[in-house]
Structure 1
């Protein structure tokens, strides 16, 4: 049945405040849960964090005290939602196990978005990025076996392959080549707006996570790998946030954020296998419906436009976590040797790319290469989980 959140009423805002008992959610069991339940939790944590940060930025640029108060009321509930969602993650999981799950999110979420994206330019942006997250999963899997002597298979459960993608050392580009062309808000499919906001939010949360957990390790190779991949996640946030039309007003962005939360909570509620987690998705959806209506009221009052002009008339097909092995192997075969130049993509190692590589790496192997070398020295092999034979890793052509 089509679901139009603009026609649905949720829980009144003054009934959404939860007490400590209600916020004391039961975490998932990492040894028995569906890995995609954990992926949905990580995704929605990133979505809620983005909603909170956006609301704070909006408040800092807003002169109207009543609007600030309205944002604060909704933002406090969003903060409770974020705590409930993020606290579903089990405390018994190590940081590295959670890291593997973060990269599983990046791989299968971005791959699904790329498959579903109607705009060819935006689709290419997601295809380009997912091959880098794919390689990050492989590097962390090798680190995980070295440090904790466990297999990444215990986390990804065969749903996501663990093998090399575009080599991580090749992800370091001149910052100017990480900026893409934005979609045109007046012409783009509403689904494209949801995709851009979703992937940007997920990558932003990954960037924040690595910035904070990286220095908590004692092992030098772990500290260095988190530092390197954390820098690349900053590039990814630049890559994805630049896809959003900067001409969107604060009010448009506000309703887009609230609509996207409705879309994702509805999507995850529809596919969730854990009854307790599903109940949280349903509760939060009913909260977000009211947040959306309040954001729409603000847009009508201050932007003097009907939100229906910028939002989809009904929610798109549910966003689904599912294996993307065949799709990713096709991308590996076709796009592994791409890099960026300006707002486009090339297969040549152009001057700016080469200069960045030389300045950053010099004569020293980057941490992402060293973790594989150290793993091979320890175990006599690399760690990977795959269903077929290896693929060759093509090099960028020298630009003559």
Structure 2
């Protein structure tokens, strides 16, 4: 059955405010919850956080006090939604356990988007990025085994493999080479705009998370690994945000943000296995429908266009968390040696890439390599979780 959020009205704004008791949601059980329920929670936290950040930026560029007040009302409700969503995560989980879940989100969400993306250039951007997040998962899983003496398979539940991707040491590029060509807002299908906004928001959340939690560790290798991968996540945000057409007006961007929230809450409501969490997705969808209606009215007033001119007349197929093992292995077999040059991709290292590598490494192995060696020395092996036969690149994967 089709669903057009532009034709719906949600909960009136003055009925959306929740008290402390209502916001005090019950967190998921870390030992029995579906790992993809946790992934959906992390995804929606990133989406809500981006909605709040964007609203603040819009308010800072808006001279009209009444518009600022309307943005503030909606933004406060978005902030309540963000708290309810993020507080679904269990307090018992360590920072590293949450980190591994963040990387599982990056792997399986970006893989799904890449598989569904109709534009070849945008699809290549997602395929390129996912091989790097896949490798981050492997590095953090080894750190987890080394300092917490536990295995990542308990977190990812064999849904996502843990093994080397494009080696993290190869992710450090000249910042100029992280900027991609944007899509053309006038010639890009609405689904592609939603994909770009979703992955940008998810990666931005990961960047912010690593910025703040990295120095909380005492172990030097943990602090250093978060620092290294945190810098790469900054590259990823640059990579994905540059895909969005900067020619979109503020009101068009606001409309896309609100439509995307409706799309994702509807997707997760349709696919959620936990009834209590599903109820939250449904509640938030009904709130977001009203936020979308308000954004549509602002778009019509200030841009003078009909929202149907830029948004899909019905929601695309639901965003789905599912295993992407074969997809990832195919990318490893064909794109492992890619790097970027300008706004394109090359398979051979070039002068700017080599200069960046030399400046950062200074002859020393980076934390992402040392964590594997340290775990091998401490545990007698490096940690991997392979469920579909030998690694597609085998032992050559770690060769330089």
Fold match (TM-score > 0.5):
yes
Which TM-score band applies after superposition, normalised by the shorter structure? over 0.9
CA distance in 2, matches of 1:311, 1:390: 41
2:167 maps to 167
1:220 aligns with 2:226: no
- Contact 1:337/1:395 (CA < 8 Å) preserved in 2? no
Cα drift, residue 302 of structure 1: 1.3
Partner deviation per Cα, 1:267-300 (whole Å, 9 max, x = no partner): 0000100000000000000000000000011111
1:39 maps to 39
1:318 maps to 318
Cα drift, residue 390 of structure 1: 2.2
CA distance in 1, matches of 2:379, 2:260: 45
- Contact 2:228/2:367 (CA < 8 Å) preserved in 1? yes
Cα drift, residue 392 of structure 1: 2.3
1:198 maps to 198
1:285 maps to 285
Partner deviation per Cα, 1:295-326 (whole Å, 9 max, x = no partner): 01111111111111110000000000000000
CA distance in 2, matches of 1:121, 1:220: 39
Cα drift, residue 35 of structure 1: 0.0
Superposition map of 1:183-262 within 5 A: 183-262=183-262
CA distance in 2, matches of 1:395, 1:102: 23
2:390 maps to 389
Superposition map of 1:353-392 within 5 A: 353-387=353-387, 388-392=389-393
CA distance in 2, matches of 1:392, 1:77: 48
CA distance in 2, matches of 1:390, 1:248: 43
- Contact 1:29/1:90 (CA < 8 Å) preserved in 2? yes
CA distance in 1, matches of 2:249, 2:66: 18
Superposition map of 1:277-356 within 5 A: 277-356=277-356
CA distance in 2, matches of 1:36, 1:315: 21
Q: Secondary structure at the match of 1:244?
A: coil
Superposition map of 1:54-203 within 5 A: 54-203=54-203
- Contact 2:184/2:245 (CA < 8 Å) preserved in 1? yes
Q: What's the Cα RMSD here?
A: 1.3
Q: Secondary structure at the match of 2:144?
A: helix
- Contact 2:181/2:242 (CA < 8 Å) preserved in 1? yes
Cα drift, residue 395 of structure 1: 8.2
1:5 maps to 5
1:275 maps to 275
Cα drift, residue 379 of structure 1: 1.5
The 3 A distance-change label for structure 1 pair 164 and 395 is: closer
Q: Secondary structure at the match of 2:345?
A: strand
TM superposition outliers: structure 1 runs of 4+ over 2 Å: 390-396
CA distance in 1, matches of 2:380, 2:212: 32
CA distance in 1, matches of 2:247, 2:130: 27
Cα drift, residue 391 of structure 1: 3.0
Cα drift, residue 108 of structure 1: 0.1
> Normalising by structure 1, what TM-score?
0.98
- Contact 1:41/1:89 (CA < 8 Å) preserved in 2? yes
How many aligned residue pairs are there? Answer: 398
> Normalising by structure 2, what TM-score?
0.98
- Contact 2:47/2:198 (CA < 8 Å) preserved in 1? yes
CA distance in 2, matches of 1:335, 1:389: 18
Q: Secondary structure at the match of 2:27?
A: coil
Cα drift, residue 7 of structure 1: 1.0
Q: Secondary structure at the match of 2:393?
A: coil
